[in-house]
């Protein structure tokens, strides 16, 4: 891939392969993927259903173990002293790494119902035994527009507000990377736009690195770079994407995928 040398990555993977099952039932969900995610960038991962998007994100985040290949969290921008290879870690070290150096936003918000918005936001710090940096917490809370909702519980918040709590929770520990899995999948377009606007600002104003899986070309258009997966491989990428250009690429990949299924179905 061009531009890989001197590319300032937050997360990278080499020859990442994931197979499920065995024999005739074996599925290659990821097929020797080598990729790097730029620091301070929002990267979107797109591709037809079953192309390996979730598997890639789960392997990058240490939530799933690859069959082969390696993943690195590339450490601070001031040196590679914190560079760590995920496959070398024991479970407890991996759990601590996820808690301290990664943030997560899921489609289903995943907030704890008995905790207030503020308690949900600061939960990763509480679990790590760290105190919130009040100035940074204020920045995050104002950025997500939740100042007057901090003492509400999730059930008292709209879906969009709940997802903004989840975004603030993902950012509060200043992680090396935020993984967002279909963050707008359960939201209407207005609430989705707010969440995407916030993820975008976290990159522009807080120098956050975000990796986002999405099906939505409009969501992908907020990214600096869109990677397209098909059959477990990265087959294309777009920089400074527009929703129209993303839609064109995804349609052509989907028609190739449909063609392949039809050919298999016909016994070809
Ligand atoms: N636990 C599993 N066991 C067996 N096969 C799996 C498992 N998880 C995923 N797969 C298969 O691996 C391939 C990639 O799945 P993955 O969920 O990564 O795709 P995706 O691009 O995220 O799809 P979608 O857009 O539908 O969520 C698919 O063929 C899927 O059926």
pLDDT for residue 261: 74
Burial label for 196, CB within 10 Å (0-12, 13-18, 19+), is buried
Residue 169 has pLDDT above 50, yes or no: yes
Least confident of 12-21, 33-42, 104-113: 104-113
Task: Please state the atom number of ligand 1 nearest to the C-alpha of residue 56.
Answer: 18
- 159-171 and 117-127 are packed helices; what angle lies between their axes, rounded to 10 degrees? 20
Q: Taking the CB of residue 148, how many other CB atoms lie within 10 A of it?
A: 7
Tell how far the Cα of 127 is from the centroid of ligand 1, in angstroms.
31
**Among 10, 20, 1, CA closest to 66:** 20
Strand partners, 14: 70
Mutating to test ligand 1, I would choose from 18, 55, 60 the residue with most ligand atoms within 8 A of its C-beta, which is 55
pLDDT for residue 143: 85
pLDDT tier, 260 (very low <50, low <70, confident <90, very high otherwise)? confident
pLDDT for residue 265: 64
Q: Tell me the per-residue pLDDT of 114-139, one tens digit each, with 9 for 90 and over.
A: 999 999 999 989 988 988 889 999 99
pLDDT tier, 98 (very low <50, low <70, confident <90, very high otherwise)? very high
- Name which residue leads in pLDDT, 254 or 235: 235
Mean pLDDT of the chain: 90
Residue 15 dihedral angles phi and psi, to the nearest 5°: 50, 40
């Amino acid at each position: 891939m061009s531009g890989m040398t001197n590319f300032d990555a937050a997360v990278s993977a080499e020859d990442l392969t994931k197979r499920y099952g065995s024999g005739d039932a074996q599925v290659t969900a990821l097929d020797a993927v080598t990729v790097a995610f730029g620091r301070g960038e929002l990267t979107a991962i797109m591709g037809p259903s079953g192309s390996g998007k979730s598997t890639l994100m789960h392997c990058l985040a240490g939530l799933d173990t690859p069959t082969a290949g390696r993943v690195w969290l590339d450490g601070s921008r001031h040196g590679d002293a914190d560079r760590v290879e995920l496959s070398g870690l024991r479970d407890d070290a991996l759990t601590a790494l996820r808690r301290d150096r990664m943030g997560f936003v899921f489609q289903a918000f995943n907030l704890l119902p008995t905790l207030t918005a503020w308690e949900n936001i600061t939960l990763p710090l509480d679990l790590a035994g760290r105190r919130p940096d009040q100035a940074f917490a204020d920045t995050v809370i104002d950025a997500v527009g939740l100042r007057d909702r901090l003492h509400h519980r999730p059930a008292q918040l709209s879906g969009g507000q709940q997802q903004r709590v989840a975004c603030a929770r993902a950012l509060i520990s200043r992680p090396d990377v935020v993984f967002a899995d279909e963050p707008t999948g359960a939201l209407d377009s207005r609430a989705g736009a707010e969440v995407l606007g916030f993820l975008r600002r976290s990159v522009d104003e807080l120098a956050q690195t975000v990796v986002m899986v999405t099906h939505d070309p409009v969501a992908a258009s907020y990214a600096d770079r869109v990677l397209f997966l098909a059959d477990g491989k990265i087959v294309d990428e777009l920089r400074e994407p527009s929703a129209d250009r993303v839609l064109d690429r995804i349609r052509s990949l989907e028609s190739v995928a449909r063609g392949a299924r039809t050919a298999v179905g016909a016994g070809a």
